[in-house]
Amino acid sequence: MQTIARDTGRHQLGFQPLEQEHQIDSLAIEGELPRWLSGSLLRTGPSKWDLGAQRLNHWFDGLAMLHRFSIRDGEVSYGNRFLRGKAFRAAEQTGRLGFQEFASDPCRSLFRRLATLFVTPEITDNGAVNITRLGEQYMAMTESPMPVVFDPQTLQTLNVQAPRPGTLPTAHPHRDPASGALIGYTTKLGARSKYQLFTQAPGRPARILASIGVGEPAYMHSFALTERHAVLVAGPLVVKPIELALRRGGLIESFHWKADRATQIYVLDRHTGERVANLDTDALFCFHHVNAFERDGEIVMDLIGYDDPGVIDRFYWDAIDAESRKGAPPTVRRYRLPLDGRRDVAVEQLSDHAIEMPRINYARCNGSAYRYAYGIGDGPSNGWDSVPIVKLDVDGGGADVWAQDGAYPGEPIFVAAPESPREDSGALLSIVLDAERCSSYLLVLDAETMQERARAHVPHHIPFGVHGEFYDDPPEVEQQ
Ligand SMILES: [Fe+2]
């Protein structure tokens, strides 16, 4: 792995590997945790890039590690473990990648590259992107049909299958609070590629709700869900599926940015799968939707948009080492999608604050009108001088900010206070890299005031993670 040169930014420690696994019963706490706050923050992210015989090209591709912060009775315990799925085991046994990752290639034979399009066992399960729950199964996911089930308390990888359809299912499924079912989309690559909307109830196989044929599928990372509709936003970062099979390289390296093409917007009835509208707008790259809701006969859809996909290139190791700022910065954008047959899509920038890793009060607001989004300031576009946690008022564009010299926070996860009267009554939890101490801590902010309530120190650094989720005390999960 790269060593940190003296003249590189202090944030570089967040890109360094963590290979040791820890179980710590009680972390040192500064401040006072909210009395009502009880449960576990589960997070995933890449943690190892030097496999021995192969060094991976891109930050996203590192072997996944899970982290758990459990809060009970004013105490915080911590644990971390590698996700020991088939991708991890193959890398451990050979010192090389066993499967194609986002931007790194295992140098497979032509036969194995072709098989990636059609055979699920040839697709990675390195769940370094996100965590979700289906019934009592907790799963770490990447954009793969094979999420990896793990024990939420010990973080032990469990030998349980929970397959999802297609070739590239989203790692950002939505969750129906009433049924506990997941709702997601997948891209099925092949001679006749298609986007598919699916739902998956606990203990049941996934059910396809809608299929949309597409010649050159787009790279999509997340989608929007309102009370009645699902919205897929397919920008012009597209792939010819056969190129994926014939070309060496990481998955994303077979996708090409066609800046002169429009972004396709598909509005689907989330219950029947019926196609409600086909719309388009200017070329757009998006990792993360913020929220969407219906108002006055249209869908209001907020997302973090880029004018080009250069953000992907910022996380190759040579760009990280050079602290590259190339590529467009993100903006928080609001699209208005007519549902009455008109085709004019209106777009506006909601704020001057550039944020990424957006979160909302999901249980209360997903799919309905809302006021607050939380995210981290975009490090590369700030020049990595600092990374703030931002609370954005999407109605007025104003923002409250938490920032501290030498502090590099990850995705802020909103946890609602019980019987909360306000949308923002609750806590924000974020794992922060403390560059001065060369270690990390769990930060707890009051989401209403953005004032710090407490921090729980870990004795080592935690590499920058990707996504996670907070769960009320998870039940014991028996190994199967
Ligand atoms: Fe994501």
CA distance 358 to 360: 7
Higher-confidence position of 129 and 322: 129
Position 478 scores a pLDDT of: 45
Given a contact cutoff of 8 angstroms between Cβ atoms, the answer to whether 52 and 95 are in contact is yes
Q: How far is the CA of 371 from the centre of ligand 1 (A)?
A: 21
Confidence label for 423 from pLDDT (cuts 50, 70 and 90)? very high
Confidence label for 1 from pLDDT (cuts 50, 70 and 90)? very low
Q: How far is the CA of 309 from the centre of ligand 1 (A)?
A: 14
Q: How far is the CA of 222 from the centre of ligand 1 (A)?
A: 7
Q: How far is the CA of 290 from the centre of ligand 1 (A)?
A: 11
Query: Which residue from 76, 100, 23 is spatially nearest to 470, judged by alpha carbons?
Result: 76
Q: How far is the CA of 74 from the centre of ligand 1 (A)?
A: 30
Long-range contact set of residues 312-318: C-beta below 8 Å, sequence gap at least 24: 312/103, 312/252, 314/380, 315/58, 315/59, 315/60, 316/57, 316/58, 316/59, 316/103, 317/2, 317/49, 317/55, 317/57, 317/58, 317/59
pLDDT digits (tens, 9 = 90+) for 258-297: 999 999 999 999 999 999 999 999 999 999 999 999 999 9
Position 106 scores a pLDDT of: 80
Q: How far is the CA of 403 from the centre of ligand 1 (A)?
A: 23
- For 11, phi then psi, to 5°, come to -65, -15
Q: What single letter denotes the amino acid at residue 153?
A: Q
Continuous segment of H or E residues that includes residue 86: helix 86-94
Position 322 scores a pLDDT of: 81
Across residues 363-384, what is the average pLDDT?
85
CA distance 208 to 205: 10
pLDDT digits (tens, 9 = 90+) for 151-174: 999 999 998 888 899 999 999 999
Of 217-226, 236-245, 428-437, the range with the lowest mean pLDDT is 236-245
Residues 6+ apart with CB under 8 A from 356: 287, 288, 304, 330, 375, 376, 378
Position 3 scores a pLDDT of: 41
How many angstroms separate the Cα of 406 from the Cα of each of 13, 110, 331? 11, 47, 24
In order of their start, the domains of the chain are 10-427+459-471 (2.130.10)
Position 18 scores a pLDDT of: 97
Position 4 scores a pLDDT of: 38
Percent of the chain beyond pLDDT 90? 77
Q: How far is the CA of 92 from the centre of ligand 1 (A)?
A: 26
Q: How far is the CA of 333 from the centre of ligand 1 (A)?
A: 17
Q: How far is the CA of 132 from the centre of ligand 1 (A)?
A: 12
Q: How far is the CA of 284 from the centre of ligand 1 (A)?
A: 16
Q: Is the pLDDT of residue 90 over 90?
A: yes
Confidence label for 379 from pLDDT (cuts 50, 70 and 90)? low
Q: How far is the CA of 170 from the centre of ligand 1 (A)?
A: 9
Calculate the average pLDDT of the chain. Answer: 91
Q: How far is the CA of 31 from the centre of ligand 1 (A)?
A: 31
Q: Is the pLDDT of residue 2 over 50?
A: no
**Pair of tokens at residue 363:** 């249980």
Of 219-223, 243-247, 412-416, 460-464, the range with the lowest mean pLDDT is 243-247
Q: How far is the CA of 16 from the centre of ligand 1 (A)?
A: 20
Q: How far is the CA of 129 from the centre of ligand 1 (A)?
A: 6
Alpha helices in 1-82 (DSSP H): none
CA distance 385 to 391: 19
Q: How far is the CA of 24 from the centre of ligand 1 (A)?
A: 28
Position 479 scores a pLDDT of: 43
Q: How far is the CA of 233 from the centre of ligand 1 (A)?
A: 15
pLDDT digits (tens, 9 = 90+) for 17-49: 999 999 999 999 999 999 999 999 999 999 999
pTM confidence score: 0.94
Q: How far is the CA of 357 from the centre of ligand 1 (A)?
A: 7
Q: Is the pLDDT of residue 381 over 70?
A: no
Q: How far is the CA of 359 from the centre of ligand 1 (A)?
A: 11
Q: Is the pLDDT of residue 244 over 90?
A: no
Position 6 scores a pLDDT of: 36
What b-and-e string marks burial along 415-443, b requiring 16 or more CB atoms within 10 Å of the CB? bbbeeeeebbbbbbbbbbbbbeeebbbbb
Q: How far is the CA of 142 from the centre of ligand 1 (A)?
A: 9
Q: How far is the CA of 356 from the centre of ligand 1 (A)?
A: 9
Q: How far is the CA of 478 from the centre of ligand 1 (A)?
A: 29
**Pair of tokens at residue 163:** 């397959």
- For 250, phi then psi, to 5°, come to -75, 165
Q: How far is the CA of 476 from the centre of ligand 1 (A)?
A: 28
Q: Is the pLDDT of residue 53 over 60?
A: yes
CA 469 to chain centre: 10
Confidence label for 7 from pLDDT (cuts 50, 70 and 90)? very low
